[in-house]
Chain A
């Protein structure tokens, strides 16, 4: 058991009975139906065992029994707060398998939609993280802004949460005429709220006290556990698939990879993971602005959609930078219209596995903060 570094008492030397506490699956801040079996020594966490599977929906087995386009709605339901980002690696994997080249306009719309959804996802992450620390008001400010983003999705695809908008070889339909202005207005609004949240929450003394130096994840541990996304970058590792392994048209944009620097505490603490999300929202805004500027107005978004989706025999692993980390799909095709096997590498699942490692020795209240800082969605953990 590790001891806490910022209190001089070595809790491990005090012998007392341990209490087993069951957190969840109906607990208010487990972010879904996660059950944690927590072993407490007083209020100090000595062990955490996550029990998952309450939301298991057999995604991988269902995918073997439906055709390739029919998998997309199930992909939506994995990480249901960033569905656009989930669709992207799946459709791109199948396109690569079939050798389809999609028109430029489709690529731009996909990038804009993915980045908007990344902003929406990070806003939820920061909002619920604040809620875990006890701040209620920033939560509503961020949800108000997320609502504006959802309106754009609703106008474009007809759905608020589960879009089925990216199709293999194109899009379900073209964007509406005032799309560009709407997106630029959102970017302006998001920036304004970001400043407000920084003042109200991020640099609040109490918030810093609660999150800095809590749940420190060193870079080597993060890499060993195969963490990705803001959890990895919060530990100071500069790794982002959009930059390191550019897919789609991400090589055409100018943006940075924010990493945790230990601004108020140690590198890799909960505050760092959160600030990486804050900074990524800003970077996404930059990408969106560039994409809106470069996006061609003319073009048929359904021009490259194949009549029959029947990839040749073969296999492919394709990964994208999801808001939560690296989302990869491993698809085996046996030449039929249904995939032989679809395996999803879900970032939430992998990131959750590091929770017991980084929460031992902290207080029970810290465990909730650490869980919030990892930002998991149980739909993706259980699939």
Chain B
């Protein structure tokens, strides 16, 4: 299947198509965030034998909009001794990092907002923006809880980037490319061609399947840690740090942090989708595959990963900060390294 940007085809390669290419993910992000917030409310309610929001619209489906309106009306409080500039800047830095990741995500063979050949590298580079935003916000709030949360977050995110990067590096080795469209293309065909099951190849590839399954599990865990989701939500662990780095934020600036968290969830879910679940490929080979179906498959796979993240959040307790470091450096990193070496050998030999 050939990859291109459908906007370039329709209106030609111009400024207009570039602007539209940037706007489409933003619209997608807003719609996604509303759905994800509703999902979080409703899924948590089902897990906990509650009804969840029921008053706003039928079955409470308008609740996310109500929450956004509520946050817009809130007073924007800046603590007296806070560093005003950094305090106001932090949520937007964090959101910029999250949104910038959307630039390279291939939603369909016919659409990736910016098709660059270092997509995987780029996503990890802008993903690190989130740490800057959190540390900025935590430090500028002039609150001890925020500072502790920010420090924890910085150490956590940096530790988990390393096993996470090793995992995607393996995928790059398997696909022989860092281009996200190329990686997706390399997994075309039925679902046993996905890197989750060792990538395309003769049936003798069966011995690498445990390694790729392990790798995807490692990536799932690191992605939870990178997005500060339970069981790794210690930067904002509310039982000890009140709200962590966003303790002092209110109103729309708090909403930006929230928004960025949901955007980051989607980014890591889509990286997992592209790298292990075949991206926009249909699981049934030629059946239901195409430029439009690509969008469908990609979003449903990514949303399934988001659902897993929400499910885990409402099931598990929180780990402690030193246990988190132990898991990252002494468990995930060696396993990721072993898998990387084995799969690189497999790639060279076959």
Q: Are A29 and B239 in contact (CB under 8 A)?
A: yes
Q: Which residue in B148, B242, B316, B322 is a CB contact (below 8 Å) of A135? A: B316
The distance from the CB of B325 to the nearest CB of chain A, in whole angstroms, is 11
Q: Are B144 and A133 in contact (CB under 8 A)?
A: no
| Contact status of A134 and B242, CB under 8 A, knowing A43-B321, A207-B317, A210-B320 | no
Give the 7 A-B CB pairs with smallest separation, nearest first: A134-B318, A135-B317, A140-B48, A133-B317, A29-B239, A134-B317, A368-B240
Q: Are A28 and B242 in contact (CB under 8 A)?
A: yes
Q: Does A130 contact B (CB under 8 A)?
A: yes
Q: Are B321 and A141 in contact (CB under 8 A)?
A: no
Chain A residues in 8 Å Cβ range of B242? 27-28
Cα-based distance from A141 to B242 in the complex (angstroms): 23
Q: Are B316 and A206 in contact (CB under 8 A)?
A: yes
Cα-based distance from A77 to B302 in the complex (angstroms): 52
Q: Which residue in A135, A141, A210 is a CB contact (below 8 Å) of B49? A: A141
Chain B residues in 8 Å Cβ range of A136? 44, 48, 314
Chain A residues in 8 Å Cβ range of B230? 134
Q: Does A144 contact B (CB under 8 A)?
A: yes
Q: Are B317 and A201 in contact (CB under 8 A)?
A: yes
Q: Does B199 contact A (CB under 8 A)?
A: no
29 A-B pairs with CB atoms under 8 Å apart are: A19-B144, A21-B144, A27-B242, A29-B238, A29-B240, A134-B230, A134-B233, A134-B237, A134-B239, A134-B317, A134-B318, A135-B317, A136-B314, A137-B314, A137-B315, A140-B49, A140-B50, A201-B317, A204-B317, A206-B317, A206-B319, A207-B317, A209-B319, A209-B320, A363-B322, A365-B234, A365-B321, A368-B239, A368-B240
B-side interface size class: 20 to 34
Chain A residues in 8 Å Cβ range of B49? 140-141, 144
Q: Does A321 contact B (CB under 8 A)?
A: no
Q: Mark A126-169, 1 if CB is under 8 A from B, else 0.
A: 00001111111100110010000000000000000000000000
Cα-based distance from A375 to B316 in the complex (angstroms): 22
Q: Which residue of B lies closest to A27 (CB)?
A: B242
| Contact status of A363 and B315, CB under 8 A, knowing A29-B239, A43-B148, A136-B48 | no
Q: Which residue of A lies closest to B316 (CB)?
A: A206
The distance from the CB of B89 to the nearest CB of chain A, in whole angstroms, is 26
Q: Which positions in B face A, CB cutoff 8 Å? A: 44, 47-50, 144-145, 148, 152, 230-231, 233-234, 237-240, 242, 314-323
Chain A residues in 8 Å Cβ range of B315? 137, 200
Q: Which residue in A204, A364, A366 is a CB contact (below 8 Å) of B316? A: A204
Q: How many A-B residue pairs have CB under 8 A?
A: 76
Cα-based distance from A118 to B104 in the complex (angstroms): 58
Chain A residues in 8 Å Cβ range of B320? 209-210, 363, 365-366
Chain B residues in 8 Å Cβ range of A365? 234, 237, 240, 320-321
Q: Does A7 contact B (CB under 8 A)?
A: yes
The distance from the CB of B68 to the nearest CB of chain A, in whole angstroms, is 23
Of residues 175 to 214 in A, which have CB atoms within 8 Å of B's CB atoms? 200-201, 204, 206-207, 209-210
Cα-based distance from A43 to B47 in the complex (angstroms): 33
| Contact status of A210 and B48, CB under 8 A, knowing A29-B240, A134-B239 | no
20 further interface pairs, Cβ-Cβ under 8 Å (given A43-B148, A43-B321, A365-B237): A21-B145, A28-B242, A29-B240, A132-B239, A133-B318, A134-B231, A134-B237, A134-B318, A136-B314, A141-B49, A204-B317, A206-B316, A209-B320, A210-B323, A363-B322, A364-B148, A364-B240, A365-B234, A366-B320, A368-B240
Q: Are A131 and B318 in contact (CB under 8 A)?
A: no
Chain A residues in 8 Å Cβ range of B237? 134, 365
The distance from the CB of B51 to the nearest CB of chain A, in whole angstroms, is 12
Cα-based distance from A365 to B149 in the complex (angstroms): 12
Chain A residues in 8 Å Cβ range of B239? 28-29, 131-134, 368
